[in-house]
Structure 1
Amino acid sequence: MVSVSSSLLYCLSLLSLFPIISSSITIPLQHPQTNQIPFQDQYQKLNHLVNTSLARARHLKNPQTTPATTTTTAPLFSHSYGGYSVSLSFGTPPQTLSFIMDTGSDIVWFPCTSHYLCKHCSFSSSSSSSSSSSPSSRIQPFIPKESSSSKLLGCKNPKCSWIHHSSITCDQDCSIKSCLNQTCPPYMIFYGSGTTGGVALSETLHLHSLSKPNFLVGCSVFSSHQPAGIAGFGRGLSSLPSQLGLGKFSYCLLSHRFDDDTKKSSSLVLDIEQLDSDKKTNALLYTPFVKNPKVANKSSFSVYYYLGLRRITVGGHHVKVPYKYLSPGEDGNGGVIIDSGTTFTFMAREAFEPLSDEFIRQIKDYRRVKEIEDVIGLRPCFNVSDAKTVSFPELRLYFKGGADVALPVENYFAFVGGEVACLTVVTDGVAGPERMGGPGMILGNFQMQNFYVEYDLRNERLGFKQEKCK
């Protein structure tokens, strides 16, 4: 999930906050808590995830604008809204909150109380004010006044430009005379499914035995359609991996349950390495990260992890996907990214159609049910209610560097009520308007279920293997 900061119309004046006061880290990942969608309405659930995956894809394609070696593991949980969450602790004493783990954005922020905000300052956005609200009472907020290590970030602090993705001029961007101590201007972040806005804090992050002081974190005083805070794991300077100096991080995603009742979790592992190392993890297949040559023209794209996808086969037959969607072009558009914040994989229409057509051509044993496709937003869908066992053509992805993977059928077909199976790939123009530009394909977390995935940042490569996530 990618994020972009923009200037707000008004400056926030903030009261002075309270006093202030390598490594490998593993953290459990979870699905963030949110209102549970009625279990009986599985069609509605899938339709909701289709829409959020498309909204996420549109945003990613067109965003608005060293310590001793240690390993830390944290639990990772799955949630009904289609994401995975991890608990992180900030402040002194620590306050623990839930964050969506998001490899498609680079900013870490939590919902925050606003008791310390100056009464003369306010937030405003170019959109309707009704879309903005204070942190929901359902989401636990961070309370800065209860932390002795909280402090406002100054606008002359280099980290201020990290969260705004541009250089900041104090006098120009903070024109209200009552602004105290020339604080970093408020931020606004746009995601595919909502927005958030607040002020930048310098805080202490606690990860088991590791404490990281002066960590840049967003203190969001309002959010729209955000079920939890977000921990950006993308490639920007403000991301959690960058601020911790991680050599690599890895995770294994539990199967989706589409509810918030499960207490099962897998693990997020953070590794901070002091020495360079090109050692590969046993049994992993690796593919190099690909650089988008035109990210300078679209700075938000620099946050993404691009992969070199060479070809796709269905049942052993090559799917003729136009090359411009598999590799970034001269204009910076196209290419394939991997995003833990997207649920269902997105493909540009010109890439999706040959894939869908190949499945339709090969699947003869089950009747296609277009009336269900219209309800859910996924296609193609097939009636499998009379089948004792279900068999679908194999979907295999071939990556640069010789790595290839045959996805388990449950990673590319969703089975609804034991009667219908739908391909879990979305595209523009099916459940939403077409948008041009940006990545041609976004690999979502549904396709990563029960895979161990390693982001080797030091050696610029992605490793993966199929594994039962516990």
Structure 2
Amino acid sequence: MSSSSIHLKIIFWLLIISPLAFSRILPTTNQTLIFPLTTQNTSSSLLFKRSRLVSSPPIKVPFTHDVTLTVSLTAGSPPQPIEMVLDTGSELSWLKCKQSTSSTSIFNHVKSSSYSALPCSSPVCTIQTQDFSLPATCDKNTNLCHVAASYADGSSVEGNLAQDTFTIGSSTRRATSFGCIDVISSTRPEEDAKTTGLMGMNRGRLSFVNQMGLSKFSYCISGSDSTGVLVLGESSFPSLPPLKYTPLVTLTDRLPYTNRFAYTVNFEGIRVGSKLLPIPRSDLIRGQSGTGQTMLDSGTQFTFLRAPVYEILKTESTEQTKSVLTVDPSIVFETGMDLCFQVGSTQPDFTKLPAVTLMFNGGAELTVSGKKLLYPVPGSGSKNKYCFTFANSEPAGIEAFIIGNHHQQNVWVEYDLAHKQIGFANDVKCDQASQQLLGSPRL
């Protein structure tokens, strides 16, 4: 769950390439697996050879406002079907282990013969949880390792650290560590009730990325429908343009506003159309207290910019779109999205909107254009109210830049952990990329 906890859910197919690794270094094998990702509404790394590719028909579901990438898999013995929100902004993976009035999707650990709760003395509890944002503690009543996570939207989870068998496609991963959660405080309980838990995919020791021994993963989210593809491991297909890379920043300092295990990059600037915005360098770099970190997060829907940078972008975007859009200051959408427009009974002419290009160290760029620049306000009806999809981080209490996945639609995004870099390829037709990678007929 990201620091803003605005999520995007979509149906995906997941291509997994082994080898596997858990909390220790284990022997590796090469194999290719595919399994489906399903969609539920909610609030809120490898340089290996390929073997054969097995494809299944993609499942397509329309986008809704609050959606997250959700993977379908099984846990326990015998296997129980579960759905986990895929979140690159979190380390602790967890499953709901207790029935509640608002949640019917749970993991029944009592029925799993391979389940084991970890005691306080477990090395996993005492050593490998040291990357957690909230330290693990010992539940003195049960002598079990107690874990918790809290998020900027006010939601939180608590439970015991445990291990069980997780099966993804035809690949089984035993002794996978996760939080067996029995206390959930949610700001949107009806929507959160529809998933079983969360799969942490950041760079921490107990994230799924590290427990599975991954050194590379990629995804591509369609902007035209709900299709997309998430690839764990190497990926290539004929129409994929060359990627431009920016170095991943490795943070070692323990500053108050720093997330050391996020996917952090160096932010270099913003262009609106062909104009480079006059943003002082000091406004784009991390401060002495850790504020100003720039992170990519699959769990955040929109992009949050720190206030000084947001105001410069807002001013220039307003100026360059005044002949196309009429600002309506009475509309504020979500938290920090205060540049909104009323466009009458027709849709805005998206082709006339100047693209916004986010520039990163090394020459990598992420271009936001067309429909990705505006989001329709739900319930606005015939009035057709739209808001700019960049938000001011200050009202949300966020002391960082967060690049949301709405702005990653039709962009191939590669997390290359082996080479400590993130790659972007803009203007990729992600629906076609999904079909090519999954073995469907080429368009």
Do they fold alike, i.e. is TM over 0.5? yes
| C-alpha distance 144-421 of structure 1, shift in aligned 2 (>3 A) | same
Task: Write out per-residue CA displacement over residues 191-211 of structure 1, whole angstroms, 9 at most, x where no aligned residue.
Answer: 123111111111111111221
Structure 1: segments with no counterpart, 5+ residues: 4-21, 35-48, 53-65, 114-133, 258-263, 274-280
Query: Which of the pair is proportionally richer in helix?
Result: 1
Q: Which moved more, 1:247-256 or 1:460-469?
A: 247-256
Q: CA RMSD in A?
A: 3.5
The 1-side partners of 2:280 and 2:76 are apart by 49
| C-alpha distance 378-168 of structure 1, shift in aligned 2 (>3 A) | closer
Tell me what 1:266 maps to.
Answer: 228
Tell me what 1:312 maps to.
Answer: 270
1:291 partnered with 2:259: no
The 1-side partners of 2:77 and 2:50 are apart by 22
1:448 partnered with 2:408: yes
Aligned AA (2:365): D
Counterpart contact for 1:164–1:187, Cα < 8 Å: no
Task: Write out per-residue CA displacement over residues 159-189 of structure 1, whole angstroms, 9 at most, x where no aligned residue.
Answer: 214346479999x93434xx3xx432x2221
The 1-side partners of 2:211 and 2:360 are apart by 29
Match of 1:363 among 283, 304, 321: 321
Tell me what 1:111 maps to.
Answer: 96
Q: Secondary structure at the match of 1:373?
A: coil
The 1-side partners of 2:156 and 2:334 are apart by 27
1:250 partnered with 2:206: no
Aligned AA (1:324): S
The 2-side partners of 1:267 and 1:166 are apart by 29
Counterpart contact for 2:96–2:182, Cα < 8 Å: yes
Q: Secondary structure at the match of 2:166?
A: strand
Match of 1:421 among 378, 386, 396: 386
The 2-side partners of 1:310 and 1:208 are apart by 40
Q: 1:423 Cα deviation (Å)?
A: 0.6
Tell me what 1:340 maps to.
Answer: 298
Tell me what 1:142 maps to.
Answer: 107
Tell me what 1:237 maps to.
Answer: 205
Q: 1:357 Cα deviation (Å)?
A: 0.4
Match of 1:224 among 177, 185, 196: 185
Q: Secondary structure at the match of 2:110?
A: helix
Aligned AA (1:95): Q
| C-alpha distance 27-339 of structure 1, shift in aligned 2 (>3 A) | farther
Q: 1:387 Cα deviation (Å)?
A: 6.9
| C-alpha distance 111-387 of structure 1, shift in aligned 2 (>3 A) | closer
Q: Which moved more, 1:441-450 or 1:264-273?
A: 264-273
1:461 partnered with 2:426: no
Q: 1:403 Cα deviation (Å)?
A: 1.7
Aligned AA (1:231): M
Counterpart contact for 1:324–1:334, Cα < 8 Å: no
Q: Which moved more, 1:359-368 or 1:453-462?
A: 359-368
Counterpart contact for 2:412–2:424, Cα < 8 Å: yes
Q: Which moved more, 1:135-144 or 1:188-197?
A: 135-144
Aligned AA (2:349): T
Counterpart contact for 1:160–1:168, Cα < 8 Å: no
Tell me what 1:381 maps to.
Answer: 340
Q: Secondary structure at the match of 2:300?
A: coil
Aligned AA (2:86): M
Q: 1:325 Cα deviation (Å)?
A: 3.9
Q: 1:287 Cα deviation (Å)?
A: 1.4
| C-alpha distance 203-82 of structure 1, shift in aligned 2 (>3 A) | same
The 2-side partners of 1:30 and 1:321 are apart by 41
Identity of aligned residues (%): 29
Q: TM-score with structure 2 length normalisation? A: 0.75
Tell me what 2:161 maps to.
Answer: 200
Tell me what 2:361 maps to.
Answer: 400
Counterpart contact for 1:105–1:234, Cα < 8 Å: yes
The 2-side partners of 1:243 and 1:341 are apart by 20
Q: 1:68 Cα deviation (Å)?
A: 8.2
Q: 1:152 Cα deviation (Å)?
A: 0.9
Q: TM-score with structure 1 length normalisation? A: 0.71
Q: Secondary structure at the match of 2:287?
A: coil
Task: Write out per-residue CA displacement over residues 402-441 of structure 1, whole angstroms, 9 at most, x where no aligned residue.
Answer: 2223222222211455733321111145xx36x47x42x1
Q: Secondary structure at the match of 2:331?
A: helix
Tell me what 2:307 maps to.
Answer: 349
Tell me what 2:73 maps to.
Answer: 88
Tell me what 2:13 maps to.
Answer: none
5 Å matches for 1:170-189?
A: 173-176=138-141, 179=142, 182-184=143-145, 186-189=146-149
Tell me what 1:331 maps to.
Answer: 289
Q: Secondary structure at the match of 1:356?
A: helix
Counting matched residue pairs gives: 378
Match of 1:152 among 95, 99, 117: 117
Aligned AA (2:66): Y
The 1-side partners of 2:300 and 2:228 are apart by 18
Task: Write out per-residue CA displacement over residues 111-145 of structure 1, whole angstroms, 9 at most, x where no aligned residue.
Answer: 113xxxxxxxxxxxxxxxxxxxx545544100112
Task: Write out per-residue CA displacement over residues 419-468 of structure 1, whole angstroms, 9 at most, x where no aligned residue.
Answer: 33321111145xx36x47x42x1001111122221111111111122322
Aligned AA (2:200): G
5 Å matches for 1:31-42?
A: 31-34=39-42
| C-alpha distance 410-200 of structure 1, shift in aligned 2 (>3 A) | same
Q: Which moved more, 1:282-291 or 1:198-207?
A: 282-291
Task: Write out per-residue CA displacement over residues 86-118 of structure 1, whole angstroms, 9 at most, x where no aligned residue.
Answer: 1122111211211111111111111113xxxxx
